[in-house]
Amino acid sequence: MIADSSLLESYFNDFFEGLHRYAYTLLRDNDDAKDIVQSVFLQLWRKKDLLQIRQSARSYLYTATHNHCLNHIRNVKKRKEHETGSSGATAQVYDLQKEIEAREIKKEILTAMKSLPEKCREVFYKNRFEEKTYAEIAADLNISIKTVESQMSKALSILRTSLSQNAKALMLIWLLADGFTQLNFIL
């Protein structure tokens, strides 16, 4: 039992700076470290009539400071997890919406591709879905690079026309025409 307030004042004067430095090494925040040590002494003051220290006062105060610091770190971590968890859920919903839109656009493009002439569709598919270069397509299909270029131009023109209803798909086709060779870049 620590009923003597002068004893508590003595503990405060003797140990505050050392406890503050110790708390700072754990928390790396000066204000939080001071708050923790003050909290330890406040708790000691509130429980002074009930508290029985069976070890040295120094040992008790350092242990209490250590435990308060760990609780503080745990609470800060939980708060951050909660904050990022909330924004994480919003981001997941947003990502899900984008994925659904991308699937719809891809489905619309695949449907529109059915209207392409066979050779044109094959060249477009190899370039945009298999990510092959014009030279690779020319070698695969035994045609010239100029033929691949003209087939791609024809495919993009037809797709622009058939997809004009859907602005996002049209934008995608324009991006594809401007040199983006990966359909998955957007999808």
Q: Rounded to an integer, what distance in angstroms lies between the CA atom of residue 143 and that of residue 4?
A: 99
The domain limits of the chain are 5-84, 114-185
Q: Which fold has domain 5-84?
A: Rna Polymerase Sigma Factor; Chain: A (1.10.1740)
pLDDT digit string, tens, across residues 121-145: 999 989 888 889 999 999 999 999 9
Positions of E strands within the chain = none
Task: Residue 107: name the closest of 177, 181, 166 by CA.
Answer: 166
User: What is the token pair recorded at 125?
Assistant: 């598919």
Burial of 142 (0-12, 13-18, 19+ CB in 10 A): exposed
Threshold 0.85, pTM exceeds: no
- Its CATH class, for the domain covering 114-185, is mainly alpha
pLDDT digit string, tens, across residues 51-99: 777 778 888 899 999 999 999 999 988 888 777 765 556 666 677 777 7
